[in-house]
Structure formats: C-alpha cells, structure tokens
A and B are shown apart, each in its own frame.
Chain A
Amino acid sequence: MTDGCGAPVQTADLTAGVDLTKEVLLGGQVTADGAPVGGAFVRLLDASGEFTAEVVSSEDGNFRFFAAPGEWTVRALHRSGNGEAKVTADGPGLHPVAVSVG
C-alpha cells in the first residue's frame, strides 16, 4: 500500500534523511516569547496566499516542508495565538524560517 499523504511527525533534526542537493527544504521553529511551541498547526501558503501544506510542530517547536523554489508564507496557529513569517527559496537546500506566535 502506498504511504499516505498525512503530515509526518516533525523532528528536531530538520535535515534528517533529506538530500539537500535535490530537495527545497523550508524549516524552522515556532516560538512564543523565545520559548519553543510544540503542537502548533503550521501552514505553508504559496505566493498568492493559497494553502499548500500543513504539519504540527514537534515538541521542540520544529517543522519542515518540501517545497519548490519561490516565495512562501509560513503561518502557525496555536491555542496561545497565531503568527506568520515569509521565506524565499531560490533552489535546493535548507531555507530557515522562524515563526513567533502569541
């Protein structure tokens, strides 16, 4: 059976198991007042603001997306508040993005 499309569990090591010469990786951490926020719903929106993907941040607040080159917005929803940040990816590699909520 083909693996599902469900969001995989997010891990602390953002680049684990990823070929950074091929994949365009957007990754980072959700924080509130500098402290990591786990269990946030992290949404990737494309340049037109359209929803593209969503994961739940790890206990350490980490998240990552496999994207294509372009301009992206990462938006996080949490019981304690929402927040968003923009990131531009010009090609393969890890493109860091930090989101604070509250």
Chain B
Amino acid sequence: MSREDVLVTAEWAEENLETPGVVFVEVDEDTSAYDGGHIPGAVRIDWKTELQDPVRRDFVDRAGFEKLLSDKGVANSDKVVLYGGNNNWFAAYAYWYFKLYGHQDVQLLDGGRKKWELDGRPLSKDAVSRPETEYKAQEQDLAIRAFRDEVVQAINAKNLVDVRSPDEFSGKLLAPAHLPQEQAQRAGHIPSAINVPWSKAANEDGTFRSEDELRELYKEAGIDESKATIAYCRIGERSSHTWFALHELLGYSDVKNYDGSWTEYGSLVGVPVEIGPGAK
C-alpha cells in the first residue's frame, strides 16, 4: 500500500470532479459546513444521524449501510473520495467505516476541507442528487474494530495508542479544549497506553505528514512494531485518523480502532485507570 492508494491530493480531486465512477462524499458532525459550500458534485453523509444507530450505541447495521449508500447513489464499483472538516477526523472515521463494511475503493482527500479552503479551490451551494443504486455491503471486518474486553486484555500486552491531547491523556481535561468539560466518565487513560496526539500525524494545513516522519514519530513514542496495536481517543473519530496513519499509510498489519474509546472505557466499573503523563 502506498500513499497514492489511500490519499488523493487536492489537485487530483479538482481535476477529477466530473470523472465518472468517482464519488466525492463530505462527512461531518456539523453539516452546516456542507450547506455553506461543498466540493462541486459531492454528496453528504452525516456522521451522527446516518452512521450511528439512533437507539443503541452502535453503528447502523449492514442492511442500514446498504440502504444509506444506495440512497446516496454510491455503487460498489465507485471510487469514493471522502473529505470533511476538523482535519478530516470524521472523513477518516467514515473511511474506516467504509472499510469495515468492505468497500474496496475508498480514499481520503489529503487535508480535507481545510486544505481545499486554504488553497481557495471552488465550493458550490448547488443541490446534488445522484441516481439510486443497489449497494451491497459485507459483514463487518472485525479485524479492524476493537471492543472493550479486548482493550482491557491489551493492557501491557499490545500497543495502546491514546491519540487525545496531552491534557486529556493526563486527566486534566475530559474533552478537547473547544468543548465544555463537564462529562460523566472518569478522567485519565488506559494503563500502559502511550500518548501520541492525532495532531502529530498532521501538518498545519491538515494534510498527513510524510511516511518517513510518521514512522519516526511512532517509533520514537515507543510503538513496538512486532505487536498488535489498538488506537483510541474519546469517541473513536480522532483515533480513526491515527488508525489511517498506522494501517493505511505505514502498513502496520494488525491495527484496530476502539470506537468505544474513552467515553466507554472511562465509564466502566472496575477497570484500571491511570492518571498523569504516563511512561515515556
């Protein structure tokens, strides 16, 4: 796997806006960004209302994903190019989610909305509709999704990578600094986890750092390349960004995203929690 297989540049994207078989999909938590102007021809997926089950805390099921993509006009054979705000967090989450349900040809727009806007590339407010398809999804590929019991067993056994900010990791903050801090769960991190904030994998303009820089970053932070790795954050979207760096860009073979992340782990009764800066 090389960078070109999993990322497209803004230049490539702008040249391929009308290429048949290429579908641009904007994924965000806040969908007002799309309404204010999106990449011409792009459809939108709402991270919360369309990818999460409305009742249970879990994803929409396989049939639900098939219906969603059919309604959006995405075919199994399409090349899906995902992008979004927040440095592509939700787009990276959707990338991981598309892989979970077996979509073959999916790529991220390197830098997402941010790079696109900083470059001054075109945005459109035109409504987009695509003809309905009959999308078929696969069973979830659980080789890339971690659940809580597996995470507890991974303490001191696998690489646990906590990608939140240092203050969230140490227990000083419960959420990123753009959000209010009152939350139900305990603060801290999973014992034996190393803290490599997601932002270290990205340049200021939102693009991913080079593979050499990324390999050095995780090596320096103490990842043992001979062991399996589980990435987590607060709700699983920032860790999708790091999962993408480790699994897709660096090609580490056994990397899972723990989408339950700190909002689940920090609420579990009886599990070990560590506070402070952690081992270096």
- The answer to whether A4 and B87 touch across the interface, beta carbons within 8 angstroms, is no
- B178 contacts which of A2, A8, A79 (Cβ < 8 Å)? A8
| Interface residues in B, total, Cβ within 8 A | 43
Q: How far is the CA of A88 from the CA of B144 in the complex (A)?
A: 42
| Interface residues in A, total, Cβ within 8 A | 32
* B213 on interface, CB distance cutoff 8 Å: no
- The answer to whether B180 and A6 touch across the interface, beta carbons within 8 angstroms, is no
Q: How far is the CB of B5 from chain A (nearest CB, A)?
A: 27
Q: How far is the CA of A64 from the CA of B233 in the complex (A)?
A: 22
- The answer to whether A9 and B30 touch across the interface, beta carbons within 8 angstroms, is yes
- The answer to whether A44 and B118 touch across the interface, beta carbons within 8 angstroms, is no
Chain B, range 179-228, C-beta contacts under 8 Å to A: 179-182, 197, 199-200, 204-205
B111-131 to A contact mask, C-beta < 8 Å, 1/0: 000100111100000000000
Known: A5-B176, A6-B86, A68-B173. A41 touches B118 (CB 8 A): yes
* A23 on interface, CB distance cutoff 8 Å: yes
* A55 on interface, CB distance cutoff 8 Å: yes
* B137 on interface, CB distance cutoff 8 Å: no
- The answer to whether A68 and B178 touch across the interface, beta carbons within 8 angstroms, is no
Q: Which residues of A contact B200 (CB under 8 A)?
A: 51
- The answer to whether B177 and A6 touch across the interface, beta carbons within 8 angstroms, is no
* B248 on interface, CB distance cutoff 8 Å: no
- The answer to whether B180 and A4 touch across the interface, beta carbons within 8 angstroms, is no
Residue of B at shortest CB range from A69? B172
- The answer to whether B167 and A2 touch across the interface, beta carbons within 8 angstroms, is no
- The answer to whether B199 and A51 touch across the interface, beta carbons within 8 angstroms, is yes
